[in-house]
Amino acid sequence: MNVDARVGVVSTRGIGPERGGRVRNEDNYLVVAHGRARFLRDGVEHTMDTPGPGMMVVVADGMGGHEHGALASAAAVQAMARLVRAGRPVDPDLALHGFVVRAHRQLQLRARERGVGNMGTTLTVAWILGGRAHWVHVGDSRLWLVRDGALRQLSRDHTRGEFAERDGRGPPVSPQALTQNFIFGSRGLGDDDGIRVDAGMDTGTVPLQPGDRLLLTSDGVHGFLEARGIEAAVLSDPDPTKAARQVSEASIAAGSDDNITALVVSVDTVETPSPVH
């Protein structure tokens, strides 16, 4: 099956320091489609040739100080572009899971060698191949599916409370606190150099239908705008770029003082190839 989809993305520092916001945008994104990749470099969108199958979209929210956060999110999206260039995997879910864990270790070692071991980033990835969206997630950015006018969250935030619930432990102190991110590692999950990516919870596959929308957001959106407001914003316009802009503007109106990234994939058609006679 082949998917025809359009992508719109807005990534901004938000309201800016003059209004109590961030000095720079530490978020980044990746859109790989039709042999080209789009991403941010020093706050400006760049493109490069990236041959590979399907369409990949990524949102990464950097942490660790202004420069280090931007460096971490940029490293994350560049790593995912390398996976696309490697070609179509036999098992996309397994490939995504394994690649993210290996890339985390490699980038973490490189960061520590450079004396920036405190940097990290969220990483939310969807790879559309053969009529399906395969996804993997680390941190507290989010992946959503909009189908038949209803918004549904696919990813789970990597908070202390989330992992305590998975493990059957009692409620921890500060249950909403982020407990791991890509490159930095985890906080109190055992192997603090590694990351915990549970198959079936932090990975998944969604068969796509015409009219579906995938939405990837950094917490500058969902940390301030409730799900009902996100749903209304992403459905406000059939054009995915205008919808992403509306999500950003609604987040600011809801009080967001963080960096904001909203990436919308609008699925137009899902075609089954005709049989060869």
CATH of the domain at 202: 3.60.40.10
Q: What residues have CB less than 8 Å from 106, skipping those under 6 apart? A: none
pLDDT at 138 over 60: yes
Average pLDDT for residues 198-227, to the nearest whole number? 98
Q: Residues 31, 49: contact at Cβ < 8 Å? A: no
pLDDT at 123 over 70: yes
pLDDT at 218 over 70: yes
Print the domain residue range for 175. 2-268
pLDDT at 274 over 50: no
Is residue 274 situated within a structural domain? Answer: no
Quote the pTM value. Answer: 0.96
How is residue 6 written in tokens? 């359009």
pLDDT in tens, 54-85: 999 999 999 976 679 999 999 999 999 999 99
Could you give the CA distance from residue 29 to residue 210 in angstroms, rounded to a whole number?
A: 24
How is residue 268 written in tokens? 């137009």
User: For the chain, how are helix, strand and coil distributed in percent, rounded to 5?
Assistant: 30, 35, 40
Determine the distance from the C-alpha atom of residue 197 to the mean position of all C-alpha atoms in its chain, rounded to a whole number.
14
Is residue 277 situated within a structural domain? Answer: no
Task: Of 181, 177, 176, 188, give the one whose Cα is nearest residue 202.
Answer: 181
The per-residue pLDDT of the chain, averaged, comes to 94
What integer pLDDT is reported at residue 66 of this predicted model?
Answer: 60
Is residue 60 situated within a structural domain? Answer: yes
Instruction: Answer with the residue of higher pLDDT: 267 or 65.
Output: 267
Could you give the CA distance from residue 100 to residue 83 in angstroms, rounded to a whole number?
A: 9
pLDDT at 188 over 80: no
pLDDT in tens, 14-38: 999 999 999 999 999 999 999 999 9
In total, how many domains does the chain have?
1
pLDDT at 46 over 50: yes
How is residue 54 written in tokens? 């399907």
